[in-house]
Amino acid sequence: QVQLVESGGGLVQPGGSLRLSCAASGSIFSINVMGWYRQAPGKERVLVATRTSGGSTTYVDSVKGRFTISRDNARNTVYLQMNSLKPEDTAVYYCNAVIHDGFGNLYNYWGQGTQVTVSS
């Protein structure tokens, strides 16, 4: 069993910054991909950013140039630095990880979510 623990959400004014953190623990051999998704009220959950253990990254177009995803592979932790925040960034942000258990199995895990609110 693997747990993902998220932190760093909160209330911020437009133009402000936040940094989200997500640490994975449990039965882990390696983590292929870690990333962040978000879900606004009444909308579908969508991808925000991902990063592989090798350093490859992807971003949704709406956050390019404003958000940066990074990983500390030794600590099984992923971060999302969010700058120049806009009201449309308001959502619950979920950490995601694709984990190999060392016995030929891949598993997809989700955190509980952390609220980010951008408002004046």
Whether 73 shows a pLDDT value over 90: the answer reads no
pLDDT confidence band for 113 (50 / 70 / 90): very high
- As a whole-number percent, the residues of the chain with pLDDT over 70 amount to 100
What are the residues whose beta carbons fall under 8 Å from the beta carbon of 10, sequence distance 6 or more? Answer: 18, 115, 116, 117
pLDDT score of 88: 97
Beta strand 10-12 with 114-118 is: parallel
In the block, residue with structure tokens 């060392």: 102
